[in-house]
Structure formats: structure tokens, C-alpha cells
């Protein structure tokens, strides 16, 4: 769309110089008015383009906003200890209809932990674990700093999961995990941790949910 504005500026500058000549002044002003009136600056598109054969075409606008947006972020530490059960450390509800057919939700977390035993981190959707958006942290690992993406694959009810943590025991080599969530409905996402033993602690340091609109929507 930028090229149309650049072309418009060139035309305006050229016509302006011609407009200084009385012979062209009226016609140039009329042409400039028609050009400017054809623009819709609010949406960044031409309202319509008229052709010599008296036909016209309305051009498709650029996406109103395809800039990533942080929906939720917390940097307040939450520590869990003395338990071997899944414990919620962060929660965020995404309003139904937020995601388009090709948009993305990205989950980021930073968790520090002890080295007594194996521990786990999971992201749940309405209380149910989403395949592969979780990680088993080794006994000697003291922290996890990771991202995972939930991607609408051309539909609001079918998603790909692209984790940077990957549980190979439940996923064949090279395959991409999928899930079926209806993102036209409100969905509550929760981050849970499990220390694995009552003598070990886990601390959520940061959790962030980012929305990536798609230019295709």
C-alpha cells in the first residue's frame, strides 16, 4: 500500500508544479481532489479506483494491525513447595474470538527449581493438559526458560503446537503435535508446576502470554 502513497505524492508534486500555470490550474486542482477523495486514510486503502471504461474496483486494505500484543505478563515470583501435585502458579483467560483462523498464542515462562528430583511444568486449557505444552525437568536442572506456541491452522478449532520443550516419549520423531480447541469460546489457560517431591521447591519468576495476529485473517 505504501507504493500507492508514494505514487500519489509524486503525482501531487508534479501536478502542483503544473498548477502554477493558469492553463492547467483548474484541471489539476480537480484531478488532485478526485485523487485525495479516493483515499481512505483511516484504513490505509483506496475507497475505489475508477477506470477509463467506467468500471471501478475497491482495493483490499492492509491488515489493520498485525503487531504482536502482550495479553498477560507477570514477573511476581510464586513459589511452590511441600507438595507432589500439580499447582497453579499463573492464570489468564483469553476472550473468545480473539484469535483468527491463522493467529498464534505464545506462552513464555521462567521457572527456577531445586535439584532433588524430576519436576514438571505444564500449560492447561480450561483445566486440561494440551499435548506437548509441558516439560519434564531433569533432576540436576535448576531453571527452565522457554517458549511454546499454539497456532490456529486455518481454523479457529484446529491448532498446531510448536513447543521449544518437546516430550519425545509421546510424540514420534518429526511429527507436529495438534490439539482441537474452539478459540471462538473463552478459554482459561493456566500454568502449573509440580516439584515432584515435598523437599523440593519451584519458583515461577515470569510468565507471559503474547498474541500474534495473522496478516491472512
Q: Is the pLDDT of residue 155 over 90?
A: yes
Mean pLDDT within 147-168: 79
Global confidence as pTM:
0.66
3-state secondary structure of 165: coil
**Sheet strands (E) in the chain:** 39-40, 45-46, 49-50, 56-57, 69-74, 78-80, 87-94, 104-113, 119-125, 128-137, 143-152, 159-163, 178-179, 187-194, 202-212
Question: What does the alpha-carbon distance between residue 50 and residue 75 come to, in Å, rounded to a whole number?
Answer: 54
Total domain count for the chain? Answer: 2
Q: Indicate if 29 and 131 belong to the same structural domain.
A: no
> What are the residues whose beta carbons fall under 8 Å from the beta carbon of 70, sequence distance 6 or more?
208, 209, 210, 211
Q: Indicate if 19 and 98 belong to the same structural domain.
A: no
Q: Indicate if 30 and 81 belong to the same structural domain.
A: no
The confidence score (pLDDT) of residue 101 equals 94
Domain that holds residue 27: 2-57
Q: What are 9-68's pLDDT values in tens digits?
A: 444 455 445 444 454 455 545 555 555 555 555 555 544 545 455 555 454 444 556 789
48 or 154, higher pLDDT = 154
Q: Indicate if 110 and 22 belong to the same structural domain.
A: no
Q: Indicate if 78 and 27 belong to the same structural domain.
A: no
Q: What are 158-212's pLDDT values in tens digits?
A: 998 886 554 333 444 456 678 899 999 999 999 999 999 999 999 999 999 999 9
Judge contact between 125 and 189, C-beta under 8 A.
Answer: yes
Q: Indicate if 35 and 101 belong to the same structural domain.
A: no
The confidence score (pLDDT) of residue 65 equals 64
Q: What are 82-126's pLDDT values in tens digits?
A: 999 999 999 999 999 999 999 999 999 999 998 888 888 888 899
3-state secondary structure of 147: strand
Amino acid at each position: 500500500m505504501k507504493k500507492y502513497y508514494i505514487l500519489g505524492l509524486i503525482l501531487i508534486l508534479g501536478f502542483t508544479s503544473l498548477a502554477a500555470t493558469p492553463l492547467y490550474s483548474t484541471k489539476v486542482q480537480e484531478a488532485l481532489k478526485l485523487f485525495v477523495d479516493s483515499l481512505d486514510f483511516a484504513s490505509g486503502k483506496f475507497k475505489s479506483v475508477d477506470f477509463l471504461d467506467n468500471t471501478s474496483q475497491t482495493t483490499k486494505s492492509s491488515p489493520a494491525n498485525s503487531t504482536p500484543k502482550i495479553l498477560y505478563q507477570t514477573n511476581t515470583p510464586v513459589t511452590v513447595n511441600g507438595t507432589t501435585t500439580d499447582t497453579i502458579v499463573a492464570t489468564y483467560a483469553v476472550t473468545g474470538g480473539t484469535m483468527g483462523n491463522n493467529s498464534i498464542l505464545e506462552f513464555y515462562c521462567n521457572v527456577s527449581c531445586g535439584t532433588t528430583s524430576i519436576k514438571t511444568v505444564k500449560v492447561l486449557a480450561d483445566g486440561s493438559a494440551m499435548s506437548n505444552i509441558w516439560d519434564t525437568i531433569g533432576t540436576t536442572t535448576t531453571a527452565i526458560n522457554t517458549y511454546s506456541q499454539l497456532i490456529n491452522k486455518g481454523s479457529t478449532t484446529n491448532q498446531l503446537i510448536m513447543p521449544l520443550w518437546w516430550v519425545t516419549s509421546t510424540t514420534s520423531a518429526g511429527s507436529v503435535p495438534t490439539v482441537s480447541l474452539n478459540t471462538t469460546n473463552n478459554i482459561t489457560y493456566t500454568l502449573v508446576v509440580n516439584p515432584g517431591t515435598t523437599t523440593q521447591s519451584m519458583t515461577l519468576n515470569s510468565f507471559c502470554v503474547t498474541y500474534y495476529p495473522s496478516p491472512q485473517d
